Structure 1
Amino acid sequence: MYELIEDEVVRNEYSTIPFLWIRSKQRNNSICIMLPGISYSTQQPLFHYATNLFAENGVDILHINYNFIKSKHFVKLNKTEQEHWMYEDVRTVVGEVLIDTIYEKCFLLSKSIGTIPMAMEWAEKKFINLPIGIWLTPLLKENLVFDTLLKTNIPSLCVIGDQDQHYLQARISILETNKLISTLVIPMPIIV
């Protein structure tokens, strides 16, 4: 059985981050932290089915439902400052919610813009233990995300459609040289 803990973390006066922690009533060794896209929430199909799959396999889940894009202060920042804001939102939620909980294994599942704070955590390693990465439609045109994936020593799955705006075949080919990354390119029909 699982219990649902829905709340929010206030990082500062400009950033309040809602979350949902789906936690087993018995001690659990694994968690999946889910980082959605801007307009693709944790309530939509990819995250819904992933949540069910992880729960069925005895993994706790933490949905971080950040809403930075609605902040007037966030949109005024430059790109680097926005990336830092996103990462600090995620890091703060993980730090406060999981403060008294130790997981032996952590899955980090991100989609689209969620791959930016994920890439930053891959470099910083401030809150994950024994991670496994699931990168859904990663922002491969962003050097931060691409370089992090290319250099990772963390087992990862990278899934992207060949019609996605961030899909670059050349970069996928380069990523395939890293034996710790499994890439899945989904061919999408061209609609005319």
Structure 2
Amino acid sequence: MKNRSHYVSGYKLLKIPYVIQSKTEQPKGLAIMLPGIGYTVKSPLFHFSSGAFLNKEYDVLHVNYPYYSTDYEDFSFEEITSALINDVSTVLNEVVNHTIYKSYYVVGKSFGTMAIPAVLDMLTTQSTKAIWLTPRLIDLSVFQTLKACKQGGLCVIGDKDPFYDAEKMNHIIMNPSIECMIPSDANHALEVDNDILKSIDTVKSVIKRIDDFITLKDRVLKS
């Protein structure tokens, strides 16, 4: 596997590193990974979903924004959110402008999901799909996009997640473009408090659903 490391000058000219992983010279497309602030691309959901995409001959883009560093300690949450959208857009402009990918997946976790609406606006083709892991449903843009977007998506959130909202999920479930998975007793990490084995089973079930989602959408794209 090849790893290509680069960086861009992001919001306020702060360095935003990213890595492109490849297992083939002719990738089917690009999977864009947008982690949370404390949930990095090395965490289970991103580690295994990256592997799922690589095994299906996709390149994988890890955007490693360092918002936990001291450079951002004086930022308000609103300013970090603005930085996120700016920085992800800047990375994608550099990557997409120098490639000829024919399809895209964007995978966001929690804080990272707040950049997905902007990514879907940039990559408007119907061959762009989104995987929303524990989305911040309190964010209006996230909720409205999930409720109304036409591009295919998978939304995964546990019923013990602090961002879970049954009423909002009912609206999202009504969107025919979005598949929903609500793991029972799962928290914001998509794990089960005080139950290691059930946590492993929950993460495994989520990865399987992601793998099935990629497989199904690939068949749709080829049909």
Scaled by the length of structure 2, the TM-score of the pair is: 0.77
Unaligned runs of 5+ in 2: 186-191, 195-223
Per-residue deviation, residues 54-79 of structure 1 (Å, max 9, x unmatched):
11111110000111242545743462
Q: Which stretch has the larger CA shift, 97-106 or 172-181?
A: 97-106
For residues 20-31 of structure 1, the aligned pairs below 5 Å read 20-31=19-30
Whether the 8 Å CA contact 2:11–2:86 is kept in 1: the answer is no
Mapping for residues 9-24 of structure 1, pairs under 5 Å: 9-11=8-10, 13-24=12-23
Q: Following superposition of structure 1 onto structure 2, how do residues 88-127 of structure 1 map, counting pairs within 5 Å? A: 88-122=86-120, 125-127=121-123
Q: How many residues align structurally?
A: 187
Does the 8 Å CA contact 1:138/1:160 hold for their aligned counterparts?
yes
Q: Does 1:172 align with 2:166?
A: no
CA distance in 2, matches of 1:137, 1:180: 18
AA at the equivalent of 2:183: I
Distance 1:24 1:101, change over 3 A: farther
Which digits, 9 at most, give the CA deviation of each residue in 1:103-151, with x for residues without a partner? 11000000000000112323xx224642101000000121111011111
Match of 1:56 in 2: 55
User: What is the SS of the residue equivalent to 1:61?
Assistant: strand
Instruction: Return the letter of the residue paired with 1:141.
Output: I
1:19-49 superposed Cα distances (whole Å, 9 cap, x missing partner): 1101244122311000001100001110110
Residue number in structure 2 paired with 1:45: 44
Does 2:50 align with 1:86? Answer: no
Q: What amino acid is the match of 2:122? A: K
Residue type of the partner of 2:179? S
Using a 3 Å threshold, how does the CA distance of structure 1 residues 12 and 136 change in structure 2: closer, same or farther?
A: closer
TM-fit CA distance, 1:7: 2.7
**Alpha-carbon deviation of 1:10?**
2.0
Structure 1 pair 67–127 and aligned structure 2 pair: CA distance change class (3 A): farther
Instruction: Name 1:141's counterpart in structure 2.
Output: 138
Q: Which runs of 5+ in 1 are unaligned?
A: none
- My pick for the range that moved more, 57-66 or 70-79, is 70-79
Letter matched to residue 155 of structure 2: C
Q: Which amino acid aligns with 2:101?
A: Y
Decide whether aligned partners of structure 1 residues 64 and 86 sit closer, same or farther in structure 2, where only a CA change above 3 A counts.
Answer: same
Residue 180 of structure 1: how far off its partner (Å): 0.6
More strand by share: 1
Deviates more, 1:66-75 or 1:168-177: 66-75
The one-letter code of the counterpart of 2:98 is D
Letter in 1 for 2:106: L
Q: TM-score, normalised by structure 1?
A: 0.88
SS of equivalent residue, structure 2 residue 122 = coil
The one-letter amino acid of 1:40's match is: Y
Runs of 4+ aligned structure 1 residues displaced above 6 Å come to none
Measure, in 2, the Cα distance between the counterparts of 1:50 and 1:114: 15
Higher deviation after alignment, 164-173 or 92-101:
92-101
TM-fit CA distance, 1:3:
1.3
